[in-house]
Chains A and B, each alone.
Chain A
Amino acid sequence: MSDRKTLQVQRISGHPGPVAGAGMQREEQVCKLIDTTTCIGCKACEVACVEWNDMPFQPTMFDNTYQTMPDTHWNYWNLIKFNEVTNEDGTFQWLMRKHQCMHCADPGCLAACPADGAIVQYRNGIVDFQEENCIGCQFCVSGCPFNVPKFSPTTKKVYKCTLCSDRVGQGLEPACIKACPTGCLHFGTKSDMLMLAEKRVKQLQTVSGFKEAGTYDPQTIGGTSVVYVLHDASNPEKYGGLPKNPRIPLSFTIWKNWFKPIGLIASMMAFAGVILHYVTEGPRRPQPQPPVKEVDGGEGKKEN
């Protein structure tokens, strides 16, 4: 990907007219496709994530499922969630979903963050935390609809999946993609991934009998750079922590962008008000105040 710009054709020998494809660029937005229907819960991606990101050891925790631990951790960004679901018709499903940052087009974490430069969104869609600028307020935690950012009480900073921005920047695919043995993980441009997802959804619907199969790319937050294929897209909640219509709290959008400045200006009116009062009405002095002296030009006539 880093060679995308440099290897564009600029001039062609003996070629009439403009260069074909000049200024063309393949779509910038990258995407990870997770096909939950072919995930076998092997956790190879968990290990790859920990290894590539050189994470300190995080003890696992058994809570009566095959899940490595109940939730992601500041040093454990990628977790297969094992969900045992009994459907309304009495059938049973064992659902495995790879859980990590969704890299939202409209990231709630970024909207909520008050620190300059602590969260950035690259043009390719990756949402990345810059820990050196993080002030540890954890607002991003409350802004994220997927409960992704995790706070480290020791460093007082917040961490999450980077979509391997360091690898992607060098034209490589994320570590988890490389590790997946079943091919349930794919990585490419957003439109390619959506096309692939659609194909698979069609197959699930017509061949495998999953009538409700579908793609998860929630439009309430402008879509995501991590897209799921689900057996049952009508109820993503049963995959554990996938809201049907994820939303950013209004405090981090309307309040933060509009009412904060308006409120501040309203407050500062009090400052303007007292100065105006001093100039137009003047102070209230203890009575009786000394008599007012007449000076040239009638200054000092207004008496309180």
Chain B
Amino acid sequence: MKDEEIIICRCEDITLKEIKDAIHKGYKDIESLRKYLQLSAGPCQGKTCIPLTEKILAQELKKRIDEIAMPTTRPPETPVPFGIFSKAKK
């Protein structure tokens, strides 16, 4: 399969090719890639695509996976409606 046919972030529809291109444009860490491509901004909040992207980064930069820094996890863990939080505060 060609790189442009492999979807890495299925929530935001981002392909392997887009990720590799971005890395070679100079977005060489997970946070910069996330922000540049809007990677991991979908409903699963990156649970699927971030681990994959780490592997791709490691491969492309010829680094070990533990040298690729993990992004901060941002709450909430799963999407929650505004209404739920406002009920807690009455």
Q: Do A and B bind?
A: no
